[in-house]
Structure 1
């Protein structure tokens, strides 16, 4: 849904609303506080370089013309205009975000807590007809939908409390991701034009995401469905619409494969070739079984040809999973490995899986400044690790594995103090 640029309403401080630490009840979903969200007009302090020095008002006039050219009615543009104002606080928040610095075990313990599993199972019972319809139409299991619903908003309890349109248009004027947010602003206007939501109802996260599974406006416009039959696609207040729309997006936007698994906890042996533990490498389950990978209780894996990747989110001493083709839907929803693995794991728990095995000993994680230093040293060594931000994404992990192989270290992609020492010595 958002590939890390905006964020997850519950999961990440700095991207959207932080997680509530308390269970949510099965009470009806809260309505947005429209009165508290009235925007305050402001203009950009200076012309943005990426817009040829245009002032915000000049930029906005051009964006409205683009919206009309894209099919948005003048009526919808006029209705939204009082909300299309510049908010520098949003831009500053976007530039200052820091995300996913926790260990996977810490993050998953908090975000995939038992109460979320239990509430997910409860929601599946409460809305059994909508979940059954969604699974029949789109092939997405109820537990998968419920896990995203839980993580993104605690089933509607934490959707954010900021007006969406000022956030979108402010980020559209900012040069960091201007093109993307211009498109998101136009999509929000299309949602208004279609009659799904009014500008006043568009209340959500600071990064412009909407609804109980935190859709960006483009995904809202393209994948929201009217599952309760009231003539509107309302992802803020209609659980049925949330269920059907989320299933539609997972199936058709993220290419979910009907009837196939997504994630399975496993136990690894010391005989596993650690360099094969990589999401870019798929081997048959029979091959993983030959390497000594079993189910957590020691039972053997099926001796079949189903392809899977071995996922070690904390290296060879941490939890281990087989990630199947459908796990790609999770990394596409949000490309943080910590978030995507937690979401997949929570879905297995809602579906009835046992809790994961915890590491027998504490696993050390380098502090933030040393992770950034490692990324800098890897970049100096010729690797493309993406943004140097202290977040060990797939590019950073692949570079770590390559250097572990070079220095004769176990190549499990986990950044360690030993590897950092070797990189420092090699950079002298």
Structure 2
């Protein structure tokens, strides 16, 4: 089992509500551009087990040597006591520490980030969400100013995560957190990680920040308006409104201060530096340099012919940056600065992290990104999976063969593009797939071609 890190492995409740089901499936109101969004005054009562709820597997989980769930839970409680959790907190939490197979099914079945960047960004970084972020910054100006002074994180960066994760508190999830955590802890996919997260949730109860009944969130066990894992909540949540509790479900001030603290100290934000900036790239760019693992000073990118979108020159300085092409050389282009690492650490999906960084620039006043000059074709899902399978046969580690082109797959694509003398922009194309199949590429239309819709 891999060691737990700060990296997020799943999206927040609002993203799941929007991308994994119809809007009416959410127990909370959908985003409405015409009115401000606020969290409910008190959390709803814990709902009954979901439609997929079922007892723990007979015979016990294999990763726990066949141990029954009850025995596993007893051992987990002993670990919690050893970690400093009181018997009082355990007694309060025990009714919620039950197994739900439906939670495990959701975790195994998530497939959220299969869209191309322009589709995802058009939906999630929409104009109304930018406007709501700007309005939140005005409404909570004192808390944002304090957070920027103390932690060095700009208001737009905090507001973008706030909007993407829960639509500013409107969609925090509607499932009991303890049940989600302990179910995922018993499952074998990420058992060690969720054992630690369960203990962290018990510590939050013990500290008096939230009661077990208040712990309502996403199926993945995230809490609050910026969807913190319990370990992040315990370590980085702050009492910014001075009421003696760290409440990221109902206190906007606590949400702002806690999110800034996590970004600054958990994700190592660099005060006063940018994070993402749209640019224009020339057609003769050495495409193999477009990689998040490659950094050049801005003066070097200027030598390569990279400019601002309007053609103006970049600053001729030594600030390091990577060139990010989320859809290859025909799609949008960005300079990703060292602070962009905070986004990829918050959520390791490149589509999500780029969208979050882009939305923050929009809230901060940047214009909409340039539309692709021509439609950008995307391979259909079955061909993306086939390409990943061919890359695995060629000796590459692409992670899970799931049709979603994560960083490992993109790196492998780039290497094969270089081998075949293709533009090495890390974007999977029909030509690359044909080369790897060993057959000529057939001309095709771009059924998955996408471009940004007109700005609203």
Structure 1 residue aligned with 2:120: 107
Deviations 1:187-241 (A, max 9, x none): 0000000000000000000110000000000000000000000000000000000
Alignment of 1:48-59 (within 5 A): 48-59=61-72
Alignment of 1:174-253 (within 5 A): 174-253=187-266
Deviations 1:341-362 (A, max 9, x none): 0000000000000110011221
After TM superposition, give the deviation of residue 61 of structure 1 in Å.
Answer: 0.5
Instruction: Determine if the alignment matches structure 1 residue 85 to structure 2 residue 98.
Output: yes
- Greater mean deviation of Cα atoms: 146-155 or 378-387: 378-387
Q: Retained in 2: the 8 A contact 1:91–1:174?
A: yes
Report the secondary structure of 1:37's partner residue: coil
Query: Aligned to 2:286, which of 273, 289, 292?
Result: 273
Structure 2 residue aligned with 1:416: 429
For 2:248 and 2:201, how far apart are their aligned partners in 1?
Answer: 13
Q: Retained in 2: the 8 A contact 1:39–1:85?
A: no
Report the secondary structure of 1:265's partner residue: strand
After TM superposition, give the deviation of residue 156 of structure 1 in Å.
Answer: 0.1
Q: Retained in 1: the 8 A contact 2:61–2:68?
A: yes
For 1:327 and 1:115, how far apart are their aligned partners in 2?
Answer: 24
Structure 1 residue aligned with 2:184: 171
Q: Retained in 2: the 8 A contact 1:37–1:203?
A: no
Query: Aligned to 2:305, which of 292, 305, 310?
Result: 292
For 1:160 and 1:31, how far apart are their aligned partners in 2?
Answer: 15
For 1:52 and 1:32, how far apart are their aligned partners in 2?
Answer: 41
Structure 2 vs 1, CA of residues 425 and 21 (structure 1 numbering), >3 Å: closer, same or farther?
A: farther
- Greater mean deviation of Cα atoms: 242-251 or 44-53: 44-53
Structure 1 residue aligned with 2:342: 329
Q: Retained in 2: the 8 A contact 1:15–1:97?
A: no
Instruction: Determine if the alignment matches structure 1 residue 34 to structure 2 residue 44.
Output: yes
For 1:237 and 1:157, how far apart are their aligned partners in 2?
Answer: 11
Query: Aligned to 2:7, which of 3, 10, 20?
Result: 3
Q: Retained in 2: the 8 A contact 1:17–1:160?
A: no
For 2:115 and 2:432, how far apart are their aligned partners in 1?
Answer: 20
Instruction: Determine if the alignment matches structure 1 residue 44 to structure 2 residue 48.
Output: no
For 1:184 and 1:18, how far apart are their aligned partners in 2?
Answer: 29
Taking structure 2 as the reference length, the TM-score comes to 0.90
Instruction: Determine if the alignment matches structure 1 residue 23 to structure 2 residue 33.
Output: yes
For 1:110 and 1:3, how far apart are their aligned partners in 2?
Answer: 24
Structure 2 residue aligned with 1:362: 375
For 1:101 and 1:236, how far apart are their aligned partners in 2?
Answer: 29
For 1:181 and 1:191, how far apart are their aligned partners in 2?
Answer: 15
Structure 2 vs 1, CA of residues 277 and 13 (structure 1 numbering), >3 Å: closer, same or farther?
A: farther
Aligned length: 426
Structure 2 residue aligned with 1:95: 108
For 2:39 and 2:207, how far apart are their aligned partners in 1?
Answer: 23
Structure 1 residue aligned with 2:142: 129
Q: Which consecutive unaligned segments of at least 5 residues does structure 1 have?
A: none
Query: Aligned to 2:412, which of 399, 405, 416?
Result: 399
After TM superposition, give the deviation of residue 59 of structure 1 in Å.
Answer: 0.4
Instruction: Quote the RMSD (CA, aligned, Å).
Output: 1.8
Report the secondary structure of 1:237's partner residue: coil
Q: Retained in 2: the 8 A contact 1:195–1:232?
A: yes
After TM superposition, give the deviation of residue 98 of structure 1 in Å.
Answer: 1.0
Q: Which consecutive unaligned segments of at least 5 residues does structure 2 have?
A: 24-29, 440-456
Report the secondary structure of 2:15's partner residue: coil
After TM superposition, give the deviation of residue 17 of structure 1 in Å.
Answer: 7.9
Q: Retained in 2: the 8 A contact 1:32–1:161?
A: no
Deviations 1:359-406 (A, max 9, x none): 122111111111111111101101111111111111111110010011
Q: Retained in 1: the 8 A contact 2:182–2:195?
A: yes
Q: Retained in 1: the 8 A contact 2:97–2:179?
A: yes
After TM superposition, give the deviation of residue 3 of structure 1 in Å.
Answer: 3.4
Report the secondary structure of 1:232's partner residue: coil
Structure 2 residue aligned with 1:259: 272
After TM superposition, give the deviation of residue 298 of structure 1 in Å.
Answer: 0.5
Taking structure 1 as the reference length, the TM-score comes to 0.96
Q: Retained in 2: the 8 A contact 1:31–1:236?
A: no
